[in-house]
Amino acid sequence: MRLEFRKLHPTFVAEASRVDLRKVEDEGAFEGIREAMDRFAVLVFRDQALSGEEQLAFAIRLDGELHRKTGISVLQKSRFGDEALTDVSNVGADGKILDADARQRSYTLANRLWHTDASFQDPRGRYSMLAALVVPPVPADTQFADMRAAHDSLPETMRAGLEGLRVHHSIAYSRQTLGFEFSAAESDCLKGAVHPLVLVNPRTKHRSLYLASHASRIVERPIPEGRLLLRDLIEHAARPERVYRHSWRVGDVVIWDNRATMHRACPFDDTIYRREMRRVTTLDVGDPSRMAQAA
Torsion region of 48: left, alpha or beta (phi above 0 gives left; psi -120 to 50 gives alpha)? beta
**pLDDT above 90 (res 12):** yes
Average pLDDT score over the chain: 93
pLDDT (mean) for 133-160: 98
DSSP calls for the chain: ----EEE-SSSS-EEEPS--GGG---HHHHHHHHHHHHHHSEEEE-S----HHHHHHHHHHHHS-B----SGGGTS--TTS-TTSEE-SSB-TTSSBPPTT-HHHHHHGGGGS-B-TTTTSSSPEEEEEEEEEE--SS---EEEEEHHHHHHTS-HHHHHHHTT-EEEE-HHHHHHTTT----HHHHHT---EEEESEEE-TTT--EEE--STTEEEETTS-TTHHHHHHHHHHHHHTSGGGEEEE---TT-EEEEETTTEEEEEPP--TTTS--EEEEEEEE--S-HHHHHHH-
pLDDT (mean) for 208-229: 96
**pLDDT above 90 (res 189):** no
pLDDT tens-digit map of 18-69: 999 999 989 999 999 999 999 999 999 999 999 999 999 999 999 989 998 7
Q: Where are the domains of the chain?
A: 5-294
pLDDT (mean) for 96-115: 93
pLDDT for 289: 74
Name the pTM for this structure.
0.94
**pLDDT above 60 (res 227):** yes
Instruction: Tell me which of 3.60.130.10, 3.40.50.300, 3.40.50.1860, 1.10.490.10 is the CATH number of domain 5-294.
Output: 3.60.130.10
pLDDT (mean) for 116-134: 96
Contact (Cβ atoms closer than 8 angstroms) between residue 125 and residue 258: yes
pLDDT for 74: 53
Contact (Cβ atoms closer than 8 angstroms) between residue 258 and residue 283: no
pLDDT tens-digit map of 247-274: 999 999 999 999 999 999 999 999 999 9
pLDDT for 180: 87
pLDDT (mean) for 111-136: 96
Q: How large a percentage of the chain has pLDDT more than 90?
A: 80
pLDDT for 46: 98
pLDDT for 75: 56
